[in-house]
Amino acid sequence: MNLAWKEMKKSKTKFVILGSIVFLISLLTFIISGLANGLSQDNAALIKNLPDGAIYMETAAEETHALSAIDMETQQAVLLEKDGAFAFSIQMGFLLNEQDEQQSVAFVTSTSSAEFPDVSKDEIILDRSLEEQGIKQGDTFTNSQFNGEFTVAGFSDGVKYSHAPVAFVHPNNYAEMYRTEDLQMLFVPEAAGLEAIAGLQSFSVDEFLNTLPSYSAEQLSLSMIVWFLVVISGMLFAIFFYMMNIQKFGLYGILKAIGVKTGALFRMIWVQMLVITAIALTLAIVLSQVFEILAPSGMPFYLPISTTLQLSAVFFAIGFAGATLSGFQIRKAQPLQAIQQGEG
């Protein structure tokens, strides 16, 4: 007899309330994770979206890309030798529109690459978020360090750096603005082979991100928030399923007294835990994904389905542990003791 299912069918309201708690806790965790990931993406999507590979900068720059300048000879040698490699630079700056209103951006320029868009001279390609703010193709902008005018040639998706939208510019325009022909960094895809290059220091994408002071400090705080939330939610899950069964000690005592096998009691505990958790987590995953679609465009929110599945697996495991722990308590108790505790 499927005792777990019969109890859930008879006590629908009770189990719906229990499931709602699991749903709300998991939804909260998913949303906060999405916001934290969103902030992280907002800070470094430009770099995070690069494929696996290495970023090289000048050793003398001591891990500060703004101080790095790779000489043209080295740059040419690497670009010739490594398929898919490209050189690039990033500098924070601003654009002025026709009404002299400032728009903070991260100027990025690069040699021809598959990862960054090719930009013609005196044109810029902006992050899509600026289009959502009302900037249109053909709009013009100036910059105090640049004598000409930039014309918006198009928009690119998900390119942010240091919480600012990226503006891709032509290398010549970049050279004029920042008075340097040398680019700061080289990117070499993993497939092209990663070797040491004299005078340059190599970083994986994650290592490079950690050289950015604003990113690493922010990431520490965000990671702490998310992990505290995951740990506390996990503990709540475990306590929740433990208490749910301990409260039914009397019932399990009766079932033990009439001779129901301990295995059947464990099955009852596990089935209820799994059904409640599966339904609650499925709803939370669906709702969090809907939220990602409907979230206001200005709100940094990034929640890949893989993240929700990983968190769900953690919740399942912890919930299972809590439920199993209560099962051991029930198994240990003599039937009469369980009945009396249930009555007490």
Partner 1 sequence: MIFSTSNIKKNFTTGEVSEEILKGIDLTLAEGEITALVGSSGSGKSTLLTIAAGLQTPSSGEIHFDGQDLGALSPEKTRQIRAESFGFVFQSSHLVPFLTAEEQLLLMLETAGSPLSTKQQRQEVEKILDEVGMGHRKSAYPASMSGGEKQRIAIARAIVHQPKILFADEPTASLDSTKSREVMELLQKLTKTLNIATLMVTHEEDLLTYADRVLTMKDGRLA
* Site of interaction with partner 1 (CB under 8 A): 1, 3, 6-7, 9-11, 251, 254-262, 334-337, 339
**Min. distance of Cβ 254 from partner 1 in angstroms?**
5
Is residue 276 within 8 Å of 58, Cβ to Cβ?
no
- The residues facing 103 across adjacent strands are 95
Closer Cβ to partner 1, 7 or 63, answer by number: 7
Closer Cβ to partner 1, 263 or 304, answer by number: 263
Tokens 């899950």, residue located: 237
Closer Cβ to partner 1, 11 or 216, answer by number: 11
**Min. distance of Cβ 1 from partner 1 in angstroms?**
5
Closer Cβ to partner 1, 15 or 174, answer by number: 15
**Min. distance of Cβ 248 from partner 1 in angstroms?**
10
Closer Cβ to partner 1, 270 or 316, answer by number: 270
Closer Cβ to partner 1, 4 or 36, answer by number: 4
Closer Cβ to partner 1, 6 or 121, answer by number: 6
Q: Which residues contact 141 (CB under 8 A, 6 or more apart)?
A: 95, 96, 97, 103, 124, 149, 150, 152
Q: Which residues contact 319 (CB under 8 A, 6 or more apart)?
A: 22, 237, 238, 240, 241, 273, 277
Q: Which residues contact 13 (CB under 8 A, 6 or more apart)?
A: none
**Min. distance of Cβ 330 from partner 1 in angstroms?**
13
Closer Cβ to partner 1, 11 or 137, answer by number: 11
**Min. distance of Cβ 267 from partner 1 in angstroms?**
13
Long-range contacts of 326-330, Cβ-Cβ distance < 8 Å, separation of 24 or more? 326/241, 326/242, 326/243, 326/244, 326/245, 326/246, 326/269, 327/245, 327/265, 327/266, 327/269, 327/270, 329/245, 329/246, 329/249, 330/245, 330/249, 330/252, 330/256, 330/262, 330/265, 330/269
Instruction: DSSP for 261-297, please give it.
Output: -HHHHHHHHHHHHHHHHHHHHHHHHHHHHHHHHHS-T
**Min. distance of Cβ 260 from partner 1 in angstroms?**
5
Question: What's the rounded Cα separation, in Å, for the pair 269 and 266?
Answer: 5
- State the CB neighbour count (10 A cutoff) for residue 35: 19
Tell whether the torsion through CA atoms of 177, 180, 182 and 186 is positive or negative.
Answer: negative
Closer Cβ to partner 1, 87 or 251, answer by number: 251
**Min. distance of Cβ 10 from partner 1 in angstroms?**
4
Is residue 252 within 8 Å of 336, Cβ to Cβ?
no
Is residue 168 within 8 Å of 124, Cβ to Cβ?
yes
**Min. distance of Cβ 21 from partner 1 in angstroms?**
20
Tokens 């910059």, residue located: 143
**Min. distance of Cβ 328 from partner 1 in angstroms?**
14
Question: What's the rounded Cα separation, in Å, for the pair 126 and 160?
Answer: 10
